Structures are given as structure tokens and as C-alpha cells.
Structure 1
Amino acid sequence: MRILVIAILVAALGWAAYWFIGSSAQERSVKNWLGQQQNAGWVADTSNVNVRGFPNRFDTIISDLNIADPNSGWAWSAPQMQFLMLSYKPNHIIAQWPQTQTVSTPNQNITVNSDEISASLVFRANTALALDRFTASLDNVKLNSNQGWDSQIQSAILATRRTDASEFSYDIAFDALGFTPASEIKAQFDKSGVLPATFETFSISTTAHYDAQWDRLSVEGNLPELTKLDINEANAIWGGLEVQAKGSVTLDNQGYPTGKLTVRAKNWKDMIKLAQENGAIDAGLARKLETGMGLIAMLSGNQNTLDVPLSFANRITSIGPIPVGPAPQIRSPRVQN
């Protein structure tokens, strides 16, 4: 019995020592990271970094956090940021944002209010902290700008996980309900005012292929470049407009896509009208599209629903055989050092 008691005491003291060493290391790593950003010319201030949760947790609480890049003019401030983890499972982190935070751009300040914004991150057990899977949840998020606009989203989930499709590929899914865009954006897209204020639903399931893994170095600025995007399923509903899409595109070194998507559009004539009103296509092309697409819809037996191939080649977007404009640049060109 005496030996057992001694063994328990030794184990308890050993675990306590492990926790205090680990919590000190956690606090030190946060302060070192803030110092590195300051040395790089950024603003990276906090009033306090505290690690608590003895004996089974490392809960890092960062108070009065201010991060700003003077070169770009972007900044973020929050009264508190929390990173929660089990002391025996430090590669799994729960991040919790405060209910109120502020994002600043060179032109405006945006106040973000929410019921909850949180994320679960699981890293591989290596020094690079390569991302294995990630899930973020947003609940009742509202954006208010000092420029007079506001926007909100009822709920959304973003999830990603590393796959075996290629060395640096990730399954990514996003599902959002009740998105209300800023009134200025809606007015630009919907000049005739035929669409409701709220975007009912948007969901997309993709496999994204990169030229490197997402890890600790990615967060510090060495962002992987997207090289290919497989759209397994996409669905968007906004009023009477409904669009579904599937397909795959490969990106060149400037971010322009080559490939095909199969698009199903409900009430497609309204979409052509909106594109014309927005200046994306001229009246002549709109008439040609409506005539050609109308023939395809008639052959399919449903004049309100259209199934067409959307193709990208030579930096041109085409609907079926008809070129309709330049292809989108999905990412910015890589900066050559």
C-alpha cells in the first residue's frame, strides 16, 4: 500500500510538472509569435496572455488583441480570443471568437456581431503542424460598416479534411442559410429589384488541389497555390433563381481556369436579364443567348430549366458554343521572389 501511494504521488507530481511546463511553453509561444509580427513591422498587441485549465486542459485566453498590417491597411481587433485544447491532445484545438470584433480595411471599419463563431482544428503530429481537418461554425453573424451598409448570415458551416486524392488535396464543403448581402451589392446585381433581400441557401462540395500543404508556414504568409478544383456539387437558391453545378477546372500559373462545368439553371431567362442589366453582356449577346438557350431548353422539355455546359479555355468563358466573356481569375498571380 505504501508503494502504491508513493507511485500515485510521483505520478501526480509528474503530471503537474508536465502541465506547468506545457502551459508555460504555450504562453511563451503566443508571446513569441506576437513579437515576431512586431519585428516584421506589424501591430500585434495584447493586454494579457493567460493559460489555464489545470490539470487536463491548456486553455489559452488572449485579451484585448489587436493585429494590423500597416502596409495593407487591414486590421483586426477583439476583446478576447480563446484557444482550447486537452493537455494530452495538443494537436486538437478549439478556437472561439468573441461575440463582438472589428475588422478594419483602408476604407472602412466593420463591426462583427455574432451569437457564435468557433472552429475545430486538428493538426498532424509533426513540427510543421500540417492541417488534417477543420470545421468552422457561424451562427447569426451580422456585419455593420461605418460606411452605412450591413449584411448578415443566419448560419453557416465550413469543413475541410485532407484527402488521399493527391499529395496536397483537401475536401472542402460550405453550407450557408439565410445570407443577406449588403444592399449596395444587391442593387448592383439586381437593378430591377426582382430578387428578395435574403439569399435562401448556398452549398458547395469540392476537392481542392494545391501545390503545397496547409501548415504553420501557410499561416505565416507562404500560402499554397490552388492548382485544380473539382466541384462535386454546388447549389444556390435566391428567390426564383436556382443554380446547380458540377465539373472540374485546372488553373494556369496566373489563376485562369481551363475545364468544364455542367450547369442546371432554373428561370434562366431572368439570369440573362440580370447579366445584361449588370453590364456583363450586351443586348445583342443577350438576345443570342436567349434564342440559343431557349432552343436547348425546348428540346429538354422544360423551357424554364436549362442544362448547359459552361466551359473555360484560352481565358474565355463560353456557354455551350457561345463565348460570353473573359474567364474569371480564381486566384492572384504568384509573387515571384
Structure 2
Amino acid sequence: MRQGHEKGGAVKRLAILVIVAALAWSGFWAFSAWAQKRAIEGWAEDRRADGWEVSYDDLAIRGFPNRLDTTFTGLLLADPGSNTVWEAPFLQVLQMVWSRDHVIIAFPDEQVLTRDGARYEMSSEGLRASLVRDDGYLLRAHAEADVLNVSGEAPLALSDLTAAIDRLEGEDRTYRVAVNAEGIATGGRISGGGDDGLRLDSTVALAEPLRPETYADAQPTRIEIRRAEIGMDALQLAATGELDVDEDGYPEGELSLRVENLREAIEAERQAGRVPSEVLSLIESAAQLLAGLSGREDTIDLTFEFRDRRTWLGFLPLGKAPQLH
């Protein structure tokens, strides 16, 4: 009898311990959700104080017991400083309770970006991203989408898209930037297969370590493009280069560009009727001249030099160099 009584007491103590632990975890999750909501509301108030418009129809935090799933509905962010407005019917930010520096973001199928009065409607399938931070600084950011379509003055369609920003090991200001899309189009059917698509492999050094919330203010100091390629139907573009960037954002260095099958691509655009014939004739005339300088009939090889805040093609000055920040 005594042994059974002791066994029953042990089970009772274990049950009490489990209940206490469950209550404690429930309280911790509730506090974490409350702190998350307060932090978001505080961020929104800070942005409004800076002149932003920040609004949402609802803010809900769910995911008990292990996650903090934050869902915005009717979200609008407007930054008057950059004349940028972003609207989305919803946005989900997913985190584990014990790993707040790893964030997964799920985007809606439809969203709208307006910049300087130009409106871009974005439709997507499976668009999502993940961010990993260390003490607030970005370690890596990855994004992917099965399909991403952007309408506007220069419509673009991408399929099987992946993009990555990874901080190099042992560095705190240098990141590898890579983008890959198996299909790409500027209108009409998305091409894919063979050499078609988009590929970028580059390294960017910044003046300061990157924080996700201040990415728009990032200032590059050096850009190395190991591989940048775009293939659409017949047209093939490839670029490589190394550029240093001064404190005002002007590049110094060289950028090499190769264009292949331009004549066939121009004829395809002429048949499709997407570009005015006058524009195509102008491009065709310029392409023939540049191809002649390259010594090839349908391939253009150019090296642009950036120095003294100007752009040069050989000994020919082309004008002011682009300002990168």
C-alpha cells in the first residue's frame, strides 16, 4: 500500500510540475506577443513622427505555443522622403518564440508600389523571404518566387526566381549578392531553358554594416560583378566589372558589356510590335555602328570607364557618371 501511495504522489507531483510549466510557458508566450505588438506600434509611431504614413486595418499575433505569427491586413506604408508608397492586402511575419532574429515573410499574391508617381502592380506565386540577423545586423536575406510579374512603364516577368544576400565570413560590411531566374520576359511569354533567364553573382562592400530597416540608406564603397547575364529569346547580354564608389556615390573603374544576337532580337521585337518601329530603327543604326567598332557583325563588345565622375567609351566622353547613392 505504501509503495502505491508513493507512486501516486510522484505522479501527482509530476502532473503539478507539468501544469506549472505549461502555465509559465503560456505566460511567456503571451508576454512575447504583447511585447511584439508594442514594438510594432512603437515603430509605426516613430515613422509617423518622421512624416511617414503607416496604417493597417488589423494587426493580429497568433502561433501559440511555439511561434509568433504576426499578420497585417490592409497595410500601407508611405515615405514622403523617397516619394514611395507600398500597399498590400496582407503581410505575414513568422518567428519562433526562442529565435527572434530569424524572420520569415510571406507576401500576398497582389501588391502595389508607387514611386515618384509611377505605379507598379506586382503579382506573384509563392513569394516569400527570410532574414537572419545578429545583434540587429543582417547576416543573410533570401527570397524566392515561382512567378513574379511587375507591370508599369517597363513590365517584367520572372519565373523560378531566387535571390540571396549573404555576409561574407570574417567580414561585417561585405556581402555576396546573387540572383537567378530561369525565365524572363519584358512582355508577353516568359522565355526559359537554354541560356535564357537572369543570373547575377556579385560582391558589394558597404560603408557601414547593413541593418534590414536601413537598407535604403546603404552606401556601397566597392562593387565587383563576376557574372551578370540576361538571356531573352535570341538576345544575350553579359557584363563584368570592378568599381570603387566615392563618398558621393560616383563610380571609378571599368564595366565590360557584351551583346549577342542583337539583330535577331530587334527583328523579333519588330514582329511582336511591342516597341515603336522608330525606336527600333534608332537602336538598329546605333547597334550597327557599335558592332562595326567591335569588328563583329552581330556582337557588340564595349568597355565603359568611369573616372573623374564621368563615363567614357574609349576616348569618347559619354557624359556624367551615374550616382549610385
Q: Structure 2 residue aligned with 1:205, among 178, 201, 206?
A: 201
Query: CA separation in 1, counterparts of 2:214 and 2:257?
Result: 33
Contact 1:63 1:81 survives alignment (8 Å): yes
1:129-278 to 2 correspondence within 5 Å? 129-145=136-152, 150-164=155-169, 166-181=171-186, 200-215=196-211, 218=214, 223-267=217-261, 277-278=282-283
1:96-124 C-alpha deviation (Å, 9 max, x unpaired): 11112222345344332222221011111
Query: CA separation in 2, counterparts of 1:259 and 1:106?
Result: 30
Query: CA separation in 2, counterparts of 1:210 and 1:155?
Result: 29
Give the CA deviation at 1:202.
1.5
Give the CA deviation at 1:307.
6.0
Give the CA deviation at 1:312.
2.7
Query: CA separation in 1, counterparts of 2:213 and 2:114?
Result: 24
SS at match of 1:37: helix
SS at match of 1:10: helix
1:235–1:107 distance in 2 versus 1, CA, 3 Å:
same
1:197–1:80 distance in 2 versus 1, CA, 3 Å:
closer
Give the CA deviation at 1:175.
1.3
Q: Pairwise CA RMSD of aligned residues?
A: 3.4
Query: Which residue in the other structure is 2:308 paired with?
Result: 314
- Count of matched residue pairs: 301
Give the CA deviation at 1:293.
1.6
Contact 1:57 1:86 survives alignment (8 Å): yes
**TM-score of the two chains, using structure 1 as the length reference:** 0.76
Query: Which residue in the other structure is 2:70 paired with?
Result: 60
Query: Which residue in the other structure is 1:5 paired with?
Result: 15
SS at match of 1:114: strand
Query: Which residue in the other structure is 1:82 paired with?
Result: 92
Contact 2:266 2:280 survives alignment (8 Å): yes
Asked if 1:331 is matched to 2:300, the reply is no
Contact 2:233 2:265 survives alignment (8 Å): no
Query: CA separation in 1, counterparts of 2:81 and 2:304?
Result: 39
Query: Which residue in the other structure is 1:186 paired with?
Result: none
Query: CA separation in 2, counterparts of 1:310 and 1:272?
Result: 23
Query: Which residue in the other structure is 1:189 paired with?
Result: none
1:324–1:293 distance in 2 versus 1, CA, 3 Å:
farther
Query: CA separation in 1, counterparts of 2:77 and 2:294?
Result: 50
Give the CA deviation at 1:18.
1.4
Query: CA separation in 2, counterparts of 1:93 and 1:140?
Result: 22
SS at match of 2:69: strand
SS at match of 1:50: strand
Query: CA separation in 2, counterparts of 1:133 and 1:242?
Result: 30
Give the CA deviation at 1:72.
4.9
Radius of gyration: which is bigger?
2
Query: Which residue in the other structure is 1:335 paired with?
Result: none
Percent identity of paired positions between Structure 1 and Structure 2? 25
Query: Which residue in the other structure is 2:6 paired with?
Result: none
Contact 1:316 1:323 survives alignment (8 Å): no
Give the CA deviation at 1:64.
1.2
Query: CA separation in 1, counterparts of 2:120 and 2:240?
Result: 34
Which stretches in structure 1 are left out of the alignment for 5+ residues?
Answer: 184-195, 298-302, 333-337
**TM-score of the two chains, using structure 2 as the length reference:** 0.79
Give the CA deviation at 1:155.
3.4
Give the CA deviation at 1:204.
0.7
1:182–1:227 distance in 2 versus 1, CA, 3 Å:
farther
Query: Which residue in the other structure is 2:41 paired with?
Result: 31
1:311-336 C-alpha deviation (Å, 9 max, x unpaired): 333334445x443623641513xxxx
Give the CA deviation at 1:142.
2.6
Which stretches in structure 2 are left out of the alignment for 5+ residues?
Answer: 1-9, 268-278
**2:47 is aligned with what amino acid?**
Q
1:291-310 to 2 correspondence within 5 Å? 291-294=292-295, 309-310=303-304
**1:259 is aligned with what amino acid?**
G
Moved more, 208-217 or 310-319: 310-319
SS at match of 2:144: strand
